[in-house]
Structure 1
Amino acid sequence: MKIAISGGTGFVGKHLTDYFLKQNHDVYILTRSEKTSSKKNLHYIKWLTDQAKPATHLEGVDVVINLAGKSINDRWTDEAKRQIIQSRIEATKAMYSIVSSLERKPSVFINASAIGIYGTSKDQVFTERSTEHGSDFLAETVDVWEKEAKNIQKLGVRTAFTRFGIVLGEEGALPKMLLPYKLFAGGKLGSGTQWMSWIHIDDLVRMIDHVIKTPSLSGPVNVTAPNPVQMNEFGKTIAKTINRPHWLPAPSFAIKAILGEMSILLLEGQKVLPEKAVETSFTFTFPHLQPALEDIVKS
């Protein structure tokens, strides 16, 4: 297959690229900068610049995956929030322009999204059938993002919104979560009862491939493990995995003082289940947290 990926040089993008290259697919990474590749099946295509004409290189593309967007892991100033939203809208509009100009449309468009769209709750369980959306910044960002991506669906292209949970791997959120424990300072964050819906990076990559290969999958697809945990349990599991104590609590007021509005990422959560993946017989390599953490820590 011929697979185009925007945001392909990020954490998730690099894992997807490696996975598809190992399967001998041709991978086209959309990037703002000039890059060359020594791998015959890996190609870099300029986009989002005045002189770029990415569509000329992507005729005949089978799959388009949109991961592009500014990281949400920086402090949420007004300017950062504007960039978080604008970068996603800009990239998705550019994707629409590319796909609309192709003579032969791809079989599927996969737009990275997030479970943050559901809002936060300590007692609700969310699946792809959940229609309620949150009102916080993350929920509003994802809602705007998905609405923009729905325009590609109007071109007759099967479109999936892969709503990522917290992605566990050697990069991303996990190293920051491990650090206090490595320093013997790990413990409960806030109330500890907030839900954490997570996914091992390997299962995320395989689930993207599953969406590609499963024509019945479209619309929202929750990319989470089937066994979410509460934050206190998550911390205890980290401590057990790396043989460190779980003892020093971090109160909510202190986290809010340090992180501001961004503290919602640690202090609030949602219990999200991957109903569509289960219904279409996706098999998780890491359905439970401790084996997932052990695999990442030892690798």
Structure 2
Amino acid sequence: MRVAIAGGTGFIGRALTEVLLDNGAEVVILTRKPRSKSTRKGLSYVAWLNEATDSEQKLSGITAFVNLAGENLNSGRWTKTRKESILQSRINATKEAVRMISRLEKKPDVLINGSAIGFYGTSLQEAFTEEAAVPSDDFLAKVVAGWENEAKNAEKHTRVVYTRFGMVLDKNEGAFKKMLLPFKLFAGGNLGSGRQWISWIHIEDAVNAILHCITSDELDGPVNVTAPEPVIMSEFGKTLSRIIQRPYWLTVPDFVLKTVLGEMSTLILAGQKVLPQKLLQSGFSYRFKTIDAALTDLTDNKHSK
């Protein structure tokens, strides 16, 4: 297997790269600043989204193209300028991925285009599967719809899967590391009402879900990459508190987060209950189905009760 990964330097991309290399695959990382030397056997780097115009020639023979590229949603307040930058980073990366695939003499078997459950908007009551065909009208939904529409242009060349990621839990990076810190400092508790849904997935299952989508010919279109048992914020916090044996008592009110984060506070204060219908129906096997199992693993509390 030979896999091209755009966004291979992000935390999901790095984890995917490691698993592929460990299993004997070749990995080509698409990056603006390619390294001249590889750090591992089977790993190489190719320039993209810069002055290079013939990079696709170096992708000859790829089995799959995985596009995880895009500006980080959590790296600053959502000003008008930043929101446009978030949108265009995903549109431009996806447009370039489609262009490169179109130029290849032998097309890859699949384009895995990273996406997000933000497509569905937010709700305290409704549960969403991939059958929800109409995006919400908020900012995140518009971003997701925009970059998925760009990816659709690859359907004339190959199978296309939109992996709609929920909150990916990793002990070293991403949202979980930031959520864990206040608990370690004995200041853990609700963020907002505590009733908002968290549709989460362990990083290991997220990577394996990508691999499952690569090898499962019957999968195409949107695929929710979440665990089968989403939880509300208060359950998440109480479970984490119990596992690491820290108090669960402090509540950060909505207005504080809105004041500090602005519109970006919706990432914390609003959620949606998303179910991975397609993964389950296609026989995907989770290692971490419950939040208890995932948090126990991520905090290294193997003997937690």
Which TM-score band applies after superposition, normalised by the shorter structure?
over 0.9
Tell me how far apart the structure 2 counterparts of residues 133 and 256 of structure 1 sit (CA, whole Å): 24
User: Does the 8 Å contact 1:46/1:52 carry over to 2?
Assistant: no
After superposition, give the CA deviation of every residue in 1:45-101 in whole Å (9 maximum; x if it has no partner).
Answer: 111111352111011111000000000002111121111101101111111110000
CA shift, 1:130, in A, is: 1.2
TM alignment of 1:277-296, pairs within 5 A: 277-296=279-298
The answer to which of 125-134 and 103-112 deviates more is 125-134
* Aligned position for 1:20: 20
Q: TM-score, normalised by structure 1?
A: 0.98
Q: TM-score, normalised by structure 2?
A: 0.96
For residue 186 of structure 1, what is the amino acid of its counterpart? Answer: G
Number of residue-to-residue matches in the alignment? 298
After superposition, give the CA deviation of every residue in 1:23-66 in whole Å (9 maximum; x if it has no partner).
Answer: 10000000001312132200011111113521110111110000
User: Does the 8 Å contact 1:46/1:53 carry over to 2?
Assistant: no
For residue 56 of structure 2, what is the amino acid of its counterpart? Answer: A
1:249 to 248, 251, 255: 251
CA shift, 1:188, in A, is: 1.1
Tell me how far apart the structure 2 counterparts of residues 59 and 134 of structure 1 sit (CA, whole Å): 38
1:117 aligns with 2:158: no
Poorly superposed stretches of 4+, deviation over 3 Å: none
* Aligned position for 2:273: 271
For residue 254 of structure 1, what is the amino acid of its counterpart? Answer: V
Tell me how far apart the structure 2 counterparts of residues 39 and 230 of structure 1 sit (CA, whole Å): 41
Other structure's SS at 2:299 match: helix
User: Does the 8 Å contact 1:5/1:64 carry over to 2?
Assistant: yes
Tell me how far apart the structure 2 counterparts of residues 202 and 175 of structure 1 sit (CA, whole Å): 16
* Aligned position for 1:68: 69
TM alignment of 1:204-223, pairs within 5 A: 204-223=206-225
TM alignment of 1:118-267, pairs within 5 A: 118-155=120-157, 157-170=158-171, 171-267=173-269
Tell me how far apart the structure 2 counterparts of residues 206 and 39 of structure 1 sit (CA, whole Å): 21
For residue 2 of structure 1, what is the amino acid of its counterpart? Answer: R
Tell me how far apart the structure 2 counterparts of residues 88 and 38 of structure 1 sit (CA, whole Å): 27
Q: Identity percentage over the alignment? A: 52
* Aligned position for 2:31: 31
For residue 191 of structure 1, what is the amino acid of its counterpart? Answer: S
The answer to which of 139-148 and 72-81 deviates more is 72-81
User: Does the 8 Å contact 1:117/1:143 carry over to 2?
Assistant: yes
After superposition, give the CA deviation of every residue in 1:190-236 in whole Å (9 maximum; x if it has no partner).
Answer: 11111100000000011111111110000000000000000111111
Tell me how far apart the structure 2 counterparts of residues 41 and 150 of structure 1 sit (CA, whole Å): 30
Tell me how far apart the structure 2 counterparts of residues 100 and 53 of structure 1 sit (CA, whole Å): 12
* Aligned position for 1:6: 6
Tell me how far apart the structure 2 counterparts of residues 21 and 251 of structure 1 sit (CA, whole Å): 44
For residue 126 of structure 1, what is the amino acid of its counterpart? Answer: F
TM alignment of 1:97-108, pairs within 5 A: 97-108=99-110
Where does structure 2 lack aligned partners over 5 or more consecutive residues?
none
For residue 8 of structure 1, what is the amino acid of its counterpart? Answer: G
After superposition, give the CA deviation of every residue in 1:228-247 in whole Å (9 maximum; x if it has no partner).
Answer: 00011111111112111110
Tell me how far apart the structure 2 counterparts of residues 201 and 147 of structure 1 sit (CA, whole Å): 26
CA RMSD of aligned residues (A): 1.0
* Aligned position for 1:51: 52
CA shift, 1:124, in A, is: 0.4
After superposition, give the CA deviation of every residue in 1:100-151 in whole Å (9 maximum; x if it has no partner).
Answer: 0000100000000000000000000100111232111111100101001100
Tell me how far apart the structure 1 counterparts of residues 238 and 53 of structure 2 sit (CA, whole Å): 49
Tell me how far apart the structure 1 counterparts of residues 39 and 252 of structure 2 sit (CA, whole Å): 47
Tell me how far apart the structure 2 counterparts of residues 30 and 52 of structure 1 sit (CA, whole Å): 13
